[in-house]
Amino acid sequence: MIRDFNLLVSCPRMRESDACTEIWFLLGKIGDRELVVEKSEVSGLLVAKTKLEPFKAIAELRRLLKERPQEFRYILRVAPIEVVVPTRLEIIKKASLELSARIGESETFRVTVEKRHTSLSSKEVIEAVAEGIDRKVDLHRPDRIVLVEIVGGLTGVSVIKPDDVLSVAKEKP
């Protein structure tokens, strides 16, 4: 599995190969002909390394979804990943705290954990990450989300705005 992925792509189980081809094709259309995409150890989950800035890639995918929704058949969700670390609580916490410096003093945040193939509990990850961030928490309408995506032995961490994740089913016209 790619160890320095910067996009996490979900798809229906047993359609990983189709989704790999689709994301490769779509990102090629927006300027990345060097995309590397692989199945992860989790069914229905792909990891990808784009040469494009991941937030820009998602914005371009969103634009493409509005213009040509019929080309999105297998991809369900695309999330940007800023840093990948080993799945160890203290390392996840350190990476999250470094990225959380981008949360403005007047901004609110929440921690969202998506975990797969790990014995860590969501609660312990959320508590470890949140305790070091000196900002107001808003669970329903945060300005920023500390996104922690655990995929077995690797964890992707990002600080995102709520609309930085592409959710095809919700956004498809």
Q: Note whether 94 and 153 are same-domain residues.
A: yes
Q: Note whether 111 and 63 are same-domain residues.
A: no
Residue 72 falls inside a structural domain = yes
* Residue 46: pLDDT over 90: yes
Q: Report the number of distinct structural domains present in the chain.
A: 2
DSSP string, 27-62: HHHTT-TT-EEEE-SSTTEEEEE-SS-HHHHHHHHH
Residue 168 falls inside a structural domain = no
In terms of residue numbers, what domain contains 150? 83-160
Q: Are the C-beta atoms of residues 15 and 46 closer than 8 Å to each other?
A: no
pLDDT digits (tens, 9 = 90+) for 88-118: 999 999 999 999 999 999 999 999 999 999 9
At 173 the pLDDT is 86
CATH code of the domain containing 99:
3.30.2130.30
